[in-house]
Amino acid sequence: MASETSNCEQVFACTRCGDCCRGYGGTYLSEADIASIAEHISVDPETFVSDYCTPSGSRMLLKQGPDGYCIFWDTLCTIHPVKPRMCRQWPYLKSVLVDETNWRSMASMCPGIRTEAPMERVRACIEAFIAAAADRDGEP
Ligand code: SF4
Ligand code: SF4
């Protein structure tokens, strides 16, 4: 699987601009995300939720600072090894498999997305990354 995902630079190469860490509705957290980030920053999960999260319906979002950036953004992601699944998966999203026009829409927000890449290749990369995430996280 690694060989399939490692050949995706022609599809996406992050410029580290940080735009995806600001605004756009925030970053949702799974229970696994909460546990791993809390452990990484050496707080218990309850403290992490109260100090670093904000509720959105039945789910938790990472708080944002006054500048609109994620609370863990500081010219780069300060929790990179344990960043939420939502951050790890970008831009390899199922929604692009459902509607390929989403790839171009996402590119308008993310300069790392290569719109000139053949959509066949984009689809193959998305499928490979989703499969790798399911292997790693044990979730579909
Ligand atoms: S917006 Fe795209 S290119 Fe910029 S940091 Fe986020 S993923 Fe990388
Ligand atoms: S956790 Fe890291 S990658 Fe995700 S939004 Fe926050 S700073 Fe960005």
CA dist 70 and 55 (Å) reads 14
- Residue identifier of the C-alpha nearest atom 4 of ligand 1: 17
Contact between 24 and 108 under an 8 Å Cβ cutoff? The reply is no
From the CA of 20, how far away is ligand 1's center (Å)? 5
Q: Is the CB of 130 under 6 A from ligand 1?
A: no
User: Rounded to the nearest 5°, which phi and psi values hold at 33?
Assistant: -60, -45
- Is pLDDT larger for residue 1 or for residue 135? 135
b (16+ CB within 10 A) / e for 5-30: beebeebbeeeeeeebbeeeebbbbe
- Scanning 1-140, the segments in alpha helix (DSSP H) are 2-6, 31-40, 45-52, 85-89, 94-98, 101-107, 119-137
Measured from the Cα of 111, ligand 1's closest atom is 3
Residue with tokens 């692009």: 96
pLDDT tens-digit profile of 19-61?
Answer: 999 876 789 999 999 999 999 999 999 999 999 999 999 999 9
From the CA of 80, how far away is ligand 2's center (Å)? 7
pTM listed for this prediction:
0.83
